[in-house]
Amino acid sequence: MSVPLSTKIALPNGESYEQPLGLFINNENVKPVSQGEKLISYNPSTGEPITEVHCATVDDVNIAVDAAYDAMKSWKHVEPTVRVNLLIKLASLVDEHKDTLSAIEALDSGKPFESNASADVQSVADYLRYCAGWADKLHGTQIPLNSKCMAITKRVPLVVGCIIPWNYPLSMASWKFCPALAAGCTIVMKSSEITPLSLLYFANLVKEAGFPPGVFNVLSGYGKDVGSALSKHHKLDKIAFTGSTATGQRVMADAANSNLKSISLECGGKSPLLVFDDADLIEAAKWASFGVMYNTGQNCTANSRILVDEKVHDKFVDIFINQLKEDWKMGDVFNKDTSLGPVVSQQQYDRVQNYIKIGVEEGATIIQPLKDQTPNAGFFISPTVFTNVKEDMRIVKEEIFGPVVTISKFTDEKDGVAKANDTIYGLAAMLFSTNFERANRVADLLEAGSVYINSSNNEDVRVPFGGMKMSGIGRELGQEAFNLYTVVKSVYHNYGSRL
């Protein structure tokens, strides 16, 4: 049976909405060139299918890129104040549709509606308004060279391909499309094949806001086809990617081997959280609990390695376990009391459970304080804590991307910093100490793009975000984000004879 271009979906909260199912190209919800493979979206809370969406192919990538490429011819000449107003209008539409967008995120990715999905959607509206404030302030410089010559620089927008992960389907997309649209770029976005629904719904809001055809395009499809075709496409000036480190390496290679397009990569992480002996242990436990279990641990900056001064280790572990019991409740993600949802898919469930098995086999001590509360249906996994770990264990070295954390000891500051930095990743690091001098000294020593002192994962859209080492290239958010979506052109002005 042929997949329609939209369908009515009933939500567990008793409401329903109209879900677009096609590809969004040139402001139209369209079918792919060839009616082949379909994408099935599953509800992680039940494991049951929600709906099917149309799956793009390489031919559809070409059509979408051509749309963005052609739209740029006129879009780049639009007055910046027009972009300001369009972004503000789009933010207002996100506000109006917040409940629907949040419900889609809860249904499709398993985020608790109240504590997680709504916050994600609110962040999209907030970032749209932040970037709208920059859209008419992205100016160049004037450089006097001599009495007869000066140079000016201009920021030139790009035709951009964006590859979006499944853990934050709309929020991570906004980290790319907000500054890109503000800078005057045109975009082709590939959603995750696991969580395609919210971005398709959002695309119609872009059209309603008044953005011209071709400026914003969305393709649902597989990375091996659509993602690869975007990375290799000669008409794209830039590729922005968030996802696994291995896939990021392939994106980088494809970009280099095609047309040397600009790239930004936000890849994996294995973030350490250091607890010193002078830390407020209760506050440290609260932040550590939030920082590793929010979004069910499916977060690149999750503080999944906790390192504790040996003098307070046992006390901290007791406080932390009790904090997990207090903070997290599994169940119906549309219930306002639910704070911990399922992992996103059967594949991710199997992956995380396999790592838990590996941890036990490696000899670590396992603690699952909410195991008896874990729902039987869906892809729910109890918060899992491993103690008595060794630094060379796989559960310490490898990114698990689920509600799993390891806790180990360090002897002194030097040992703690060395263990924290003993990783191929460098996305984030956290430290807890009431000693101001120590906190700032250690922050300088930690090899991470973001360091949180006495907090965890409370990033703000005004602050640059990105990784070191194998965690990526480039900085999203804040003013720095606009450097990703523009290239500087220098123009020389001569106004006298050469001699």
Q: Which residues are marked as active site?
A: 266
Residue whose pair of structure tokens reads 């932390």 in the numeric block: 320
Question: What is the residue type of 420?
Answer: A
CA angle, 190 then 195 then 198, to 5°: 80
Question: What are the start-end ranges of the E strands in 174-304?
Answer: 186-191, 216-220, 238-242, 262-266, 272-275
Give the relative orientation of helices 98-109 and 118-134 as an angle to the nearest 10 degrees: 120
**Closest C-alpha to 43, from 112, 105, 107:** 107
Q: Which helix (H) or strand (E) holds 38?
A: strand 38-42
Cα-atom radius of gyration of the chain, to the nearest Å?
Answer: 24
Euclidean distance between CA atoms 451 and 455, whole angstroms: 9
Contacts 24+ apart (CB under 8 A), 439-442: 442/274, 442/413, 442/416, 442/417
Euclidean distance between CA atoms 123 and 129, whole angstroms: 10
**Closest C-alpha to 172, from 109, 234, 82:** 109
Q: Which helix (H) or strand (E) holds 199?
A: helix 197-209
Euclidean distance between CA atoms 163 and 448, whole angstroms: 23
Euclidean distance between CA atoms 118 and 196, whole angstroms: 18
In whole angstroms, how far apart are CA 231 and each of 58, 147, 190?
12, 45, 11
**Closest C-alpha to 162, from 48, 64, 32:** 64
Q: Where are the alpha helices (DSSP H) in 362-471?
A: 394-397, 413-421, 436-445
Question: What is the residue type of 227?
Answer: G
Strand order in the sheet with 404-410: 365-367, 384-387, 404-410, 305-309, 272-275, 428-432, 450-453
Residue whose pair of structure tokens reads 């242990």 in the numeric block: 281
Residue whose pair of structure tokens reads 């310490």 in the numeric block: 396
b/e sequence 6-33, b meaning 16+ C-beta within 10 Å? beebebbeeeebebbbbbbbbbebeebe
Strand, helix or coil for residue 441 = helix
